[in-house]
Amino acid sequence: MLPESLQQLIDQFKRLPGIGGKSAQRLAFHILRTPREDAERLCDAIRQVKDRVTYCSVCNNITDTDPCGICADDSRDRRIICVVEEPQNVNVIEKTGGHRGRYHVLMGAISPLSGVGPDDLKIKGLLTRLSDGVEEVLLATNPTVEGEATAIYLARLLKPLGVRVTRIAMGIPVGSDLDYADDLTMTRSLEGRREL
């Protein structure tokens, strides 16, 4: 039987996404073995994140300043807004260096089975931002049923407003084999073909 405080730590770790019982136990025992200073640094880091990190009032990205660094950067192209589902999606796109516009984070995707509808997403803020000289909205929602439903909904909502609506390309990943592509992925690859 474990001491109550250690069991509480294991239980808290199990609440984290992707952490099962064994991983939670390994993490808890690791913390138990580390010097107190390391454990205190971890506690401080968690506290600082909870105290300092918030959501940008413009794009809903995570930030410790408001507006966030991307929204405040005058060198970014204000005419293009890339719409993503979650804040972590911004980092994925930023790593590529391929997008020099702004972002808008929806904070989810339409999922009727989970009870998430358009009114539950940060769509009103996106519509408000269109009056700021936006010419293109790039939909970069995930290639899932929910992401596709969200992209289709947004396209139908935005096109009548006179803004160009585009979608990220989808298809066969680099380094993979065509034999392993499912029908939908292959179809998307053919639809998104481009001239060389």
Report the 10 Å Cβ neighbour count for 1: 4
Q: Indicate the fold that domain 77-167 takes in CATH.
A: Dna Topoisomerase Vi A Subunit; Chain: A, domain 2 (3.40.1360)
- Which helix or strand (DSSP H or E) is residue 89 part of? helix 87-96
Domain 4-51, CATH homologous superfamily name and number: RecR Domain 1 (1.10.8.420)
Instruction: State in Å, rounded, how far the first CA of the chain is from the last one.
Output: 66
């992925």: which residue's tokens?
Answer: 185
Minimal CA–CA distance to 154: which of 135, 138, 131?
Answer: 138
Write down the pLDDT at residue 53.
95
- pLDDT string in tens for the chain (196-residue length): 899 999 999 999 999 999 999 999 999 999 999 999 999 999 999 999 999 999 999 999 999 999 999 999 999 999 999 999 999 999 999 998 889 999 999 999 999 999 999 999 999 999 999 998 999 999 999 988 899 999 999 999 999 999 999 998 887 777 777 777 778 778 877 777 776 6
State the DSSP H helix or E strand holding residue 164, giving kind and residue range, or none if neither.
Answer: strand 164-167
Domain ranges of the chain: 4-51, 77-167
Q: DSSP secondary-structure letter at 159? A: G
Please compute Rg for the chain using Cα positions: 21
Identity of the residue numbered 48: Q
Q: What pLDDT shows up at residue 195?
A: 67
